[in-house]
Structure 1
């Protein structure tokens, strides 16, 4: 299986990808680690695209993240897209809890990067980003799924954490 997991910021993409990776014993590729260097420095687009392409050489994998600049690489090689299409309330409560936990416990996000109180209350807030992008993504994905270049993909749209856990149990 070659699975791409997409969904709102904080919806649980990485958590689900880790569960799938462990259950199916396949590699887990976390796009944030390929995109960000330390000190929140974004790698150049071509470096990011090369890293993603290099990481998808295995027969099976699960990748989490939804960077549009590498979607063509991932989806052309994937056979399944799992869309965590949760309610705004669910996504916002999850991203808020996750951000606060990361700040309080000083949990690393990726590559030596951390969420901070300063960033949380700035215009670069991950919570603000999640809120602002929520409706845009919900409109965009069904349109993308209809494109001819994506006709090979099996689309799994999961609308609640319970539906996701049920799907995961059936996957294994």
Structure 2
């Protein structure tokens, strides 16, 4: 596993960004795409249909995505993770402090709700009180899944020793790494 200051052994063409909700996966994936001139596909846009229902075409869309010669996306969704990991040549793991990611996901959720921002396929954040009643609420999800990447990323790296994994543990490391990438 590489760190922020380690050089990549080759120029990546198929990139995954892993991390808990609020870690900055989508933002970093977009920045990687821009730096390497690779198309970024936001995986949430493939997954969420109207009314927050999973799109029936999701798995097929992921299968189509990985056949492309170059892409960047987020490493999310149980059915998609193995397909994406099998095709990727680089995984960037945002292993940031939990307090940072929790603050980010709370601020983002509140901002989206207050501004009534449209997300994917017409969806908007629900009422903030749903945090207390919906176990799948993004903030609760971020809390309950905060440690799962510490198991899943090393296991995936062990299964795919040819895939480069870069682990970034702070905002400073993220910034240093993306500057070096460009």
TM-score normalised according to structure 2 size: 0.86
Equivalent in the alignment of 1:14: 26
Deviation for aligned residue 1:13: 0.4
Aligned length, in residue pairs: 168
Report Cα offsets for 1:68-91 as digits up to 9, x if no partner.
211222111110000000111011
Q: Write out the 4+ residue segments of structure 1 that deviate beyond 4 Å after TM superposition.
A: none
Consecutive unaligned residues of structure 1, counting only runs of 5 or more, are none
Query: 2:73 is matched with which residue: 63, 68, 87?
Result: 63
Ranked by relative contact order (alpha carbons within 8 Å, sequence separation 6 or more), the top structure is: 2
1:160 matches 2:173 = no
1:119 matches 2:130 = yes
1:143 matches 2:162 = no
Deviation for aligned residue 1:49: 1.6
5 Å matches for 1:69-84? 69-84=79-94
Provide the secondary structure at the position in 1 that maps to 2:73: strand
TM-score normalised according to structure 1 size: 0.91
1:33 matches 2:45 = yes
Tell whether the 8 Å contact from 2:30 to 2:40 is kept in structure 1 after alignment: yes
Equivalent in the alignment of 1:170: 180
Report Cα offsets for 1:28-76 as digits up to 9, x if no partner.
01111111111101124xx322101212333221111321211222111
Paired with 2:82 and 2:126, the residues of 1 have a C-alpha distance of 32
Structure number having the greater helix percentage: 1
Structure number having the greater strand percentage: 1
| Superposition CA RMSD, Å | 1.4
